[in-house]
Structure 1
Amino acid sequence: MPTFLETVHVLNGETLHLNYHQKRINDVFHYYFPDTPVLNIQDYFASLELPQSGSYRARLVYRTEWEFHEFIPYKSKNIKHLAIVNTDDFEYFFKYADRSHILKKVADHPEADDIIFSKHGKLQDSSIANLAFKKGDTWYTPKDPLHWGTTRRRLIDEQVLEEKDIWISELSEYSHICLINVFRPLSDTDALLLPNAIV
């Protein structure tokens, strides 16, 4: 049975967007543990002593119980260049704690700061984030990502992002790419220019 991971942004003692993390935990339990009471992430954080100053990455590892947690000071990874790699038969629908396959793919491409998985010609995710692509004034996100992230889901709910198949063959139609996760916002300032970002 796999082990699962939630990565939560803790900013100055506040946990951000826990309702979306809970939705993902609900999905995990519905699929893997349908007869087990669902873990409550809000209650778990209420039992912890949170760092009160600064930006932290809270790593929560769990199966049917909370198994491990740690607070890591957040340091942004400088990403300027991306390499496109084949997803092949790799599946990462849920946020599994075992990321060894992903890390190996990244290590195989030292020419890039991060990678983008693609399947049957359609772009999916980077190793650390979901993706958004800008065309005109509209931001699009791949309809079939490697996994759905909490920030991606929230931005779709807020109608900031639209789901669409992003084909490698049509990448020239987009002006920017933005990596989005709980630490990386969707904005022109944080986006990379296309096609310059692809190596």
Structure 2
Amino acid sequence: MCLLLESIKIANGQPQNLRWHQRRLDASRLEVFGSQLPPINLQEVLDTSQLDNATIYKARVIYGEELNKVEIESYSVRPVQSIRVVEANNLDYRHKYADRSAINTLFNQRGAVDDILIARNGLLTDCSYTNVCFWDGSKWHTPSEPLLAGTKRASLLEKGLITERKIAVNDIKFFESVTLINAMLDPGTIVLPVSRLIY
């Protein structure tokens, strides 16, 4: 059975960005499994009553036609200091699938660097676990054709804090830095100069 997941940040005892997670969950279930499904309400399935408000947690909600399971664990940022660009022209990860084997295979080919940045047909998409934004000296730009349209990316686009554009591998040299974003990572948490990208 095809399973999908949502990774949700819990801070100060509260799930973050839940509107965007619920929107993606509903859209993914409809597209993958069709209509007439029992609803999954993220607010109801995330029990945060026993969590420490001073701790950051990552909740993994795994689901298909029905809720499969919910896992909650404390979270710490994995440092990233170098990134290798890899080509994967046929990789499809438009939904947040629980099966990440294709991405993991690419990640395992990274060599001595910390992460990969996946390109399809010469255009940049995402790192192994994150969307990316590039700083040109005045604005943050995110690739317009990501592997996965992340919830943090969506909220930043809605607020006008980042803009979409096609970014080719050859465009990297025109930027100053790159930041990694996802449900757990705000812009600026992990920032690298583009000189740390190998391509």
TMscore range, shorter length: over 0.9
- Paired residue secondary structure (1:136): coil
CA apart distance, 1:150: 0.3
Structure-2 residue corresponding to 1:65? 66
1:82–1:113 contact (8 Å) kept in structure 2 = yes
In structure 1, the residue matched to 2:42 is 41
**Using the alignment, how far apart are the partners of 2:61 and 2:196 within structure 1?**
36
Q: SS in structure 2 opposite 1:177?
A: strand
Q: How many Å separate the matches in 2 of 1:182 and 1:58? A: 10
Note the C-alpha offset of 1:50. 4.5
Contact 2:88 2:119 in 1 (8 A): yes
2:28 matched residue in structure 1: 28
1:176 paired to 2:177:
yes
Normalising to structure 2: TM-score of the pair? 0.93
Shift of the alpha carbon at 1:37?
Answer: 3.7
CA distance in 2, matches of 1:156, 1:5: 22
CA distance in 1, matches of 2:133, 2:20: 19
Aligned to 1:103: 104
Aligned partner of 1:4 in structure 2 is 4
2:193 alignment counterpart: 193
Deviation at 1:197, TM superposition (A): 3.4
Distance in 2 (CA, whole Å) between partners of 1:151 and 1:22 is 13
The answer on whether the counterparts of 1:29 and 1:38 sit within 8 Å (CA) in structure 2 is: no
Alignment of 1:131-170 (within 5 A): 131-170=132-171
Number of aligned residues: 197
1:66-119, Cα deviation, whole Å (9 max, x unpaired):
111111110111101001111221100000001112112111112210001101
Find the residue that maps to 2:6 and give its secondary structure: strand
1:148 maps to a residue whose letter is A
Percent sequence identity over aligned pairs: 28
Alpha-carbon distance in 1 for matches of 2:69, 2:192: 35
Give, as a single letter, the amino acid of the residue that structure 2 aligns with 1:7.
S
Decide which moves more: 143-152 or 81-90. Answer: 81-90
Q: Distance in 2 between matches of 1:50 and 1:126?
A: 33
Contact 1:25 1:38 in 2 (8 A): no
Give me the whole-angstrom Cα distance separating, in 1, the residues matched to 2:171 and 2:89. 20
Q: Partner of 1:89 in structure 2?
A: 90
CA distance in 1, matches of 2:39, 2:91: 27
Q: Is the Cα–Cα contact under 8 Å of residues 57 and 75 in structure 2 kept in the other structure?
A: yes
4+ residue stretches of structure 1 with deviation over 3 A? 47-50
TM-score, L = length of structure 1: 0.93
Question: Following the alignment from structure 2 to structure 1, what is the Cα–Cα distance between the partners of residues 50 and 22?
Answer: 18
